[in-house]
Chain A
Amino acid sequence: KAGVTQTPRYLIKTRGQQVTLSCSPISGHRSVSWYQQTPGQGLQFLFEYFSETQRNKGNFPGRFSGRQFSNSRSEMNVSTLELGDSALYLCASSHRSRVGTEAFFGQGTRLTVV
C-alpha cells in the first residue's frame, strides 16, 4: 500500500513570503502529525490532526498553522517566513491497532528561506 506522500519535496522562498506544504497519509489513517527538523533542535512537534480537528499543538508561533480535510489529507502553512524557518518538515500518519500506535513518515519537504 502507498506510503505517506509529501509535496513538494523542495522549496525555496524569500523572507516574508508564505508557504503551504501538503501531506497525504496512508489510506485508512486518520491521524496526521507535523514535525520540524533542524540540525540544532532535532525533531520538534508542530501539531497533530485527527478527523479534521487539531488534537495537539507544539510550542511554535501562530505563523505556523495547519488543517486536515475530510479525506485525511493535511496541509501546513507558514506565513511571514523567517530565515530560521529553514528546515526539513516531516509529516507522519498513524493509527491505533491492537499492537499500539505506530507512526509512518513521509520523505519530507526541504524548505529553504533566503
Chain B
Amino acid sequence: KQEVTQIPAALSVPEGENLVLNCSFTDSAIYNLQWFRQDPGKGLTSLLLIQSSQREQTSGRLNASLDKSSGRSTLYIAASQPGDSATYLCAAYHQGGSEKLVFGKGTKLTVNP
C-alpha cells in the first residue's frame, strides 16, 4: 500500500529565501508524481507533473525532482515571495491503470515579508 509523507509539516521563511519541500513514498512503482498548491478553503492547483521516466521538471521559480529508487521527490522554490504562502501537497499515481492519487498531508509554507 502506497504511503506518501511530507516533511516538514510547516515552514516559515523570510521573503527571498530559497527553500526545499520534501516528499517521500513507500512504493517505487509509481506512474507519475504531481505537486499541488492549496490556498485556504480552496481547491488544488497543479504546479508540476513529473513522469516516472523523468528526473526533474521546471516551471518558473519552481523545480521538482524525482528519485524513484530512493522513493523521494523534492520541490525547490527559488526566491520565495509572500504570495507563495500556501499548503503544498505531493501526490503519487500508482501503476495499474487507475488514476487514483495518494496524497501526503502537505507542507504549510509561510513566507514573511
A residues near B (Cβ < 8 Å) are 4, 6, 31, 33, 35, 42-43, 45, 48, 50, 55-56, 58, 88, 90, 92, 94, 96, 99-108, 110
Bound complex: CA A48 to CA B49 (Å)? 20
A103 & B46 in contact (Cβ 8 Å cutoff): yes
- B101 x A45 contact (CB < 8 A): yes
- B42 CB → nearest A CB, Å: 6
Query: B44–A105 contact, CB under 8 A?
Result: yes
Contact A103 B43 (CB under 8 A): no
Q: Report chain A residues within 8 Å CB of B100.
A: 33, 45, 48, 56, 58
The reply to whether A42 and B105 form a contact with Cβ atoms under 8 Å apart is: yes
- Does B89 reach chain A (CB closer than 8 Å)? yes
Contacts of A31 in B (CB 8 A): 99
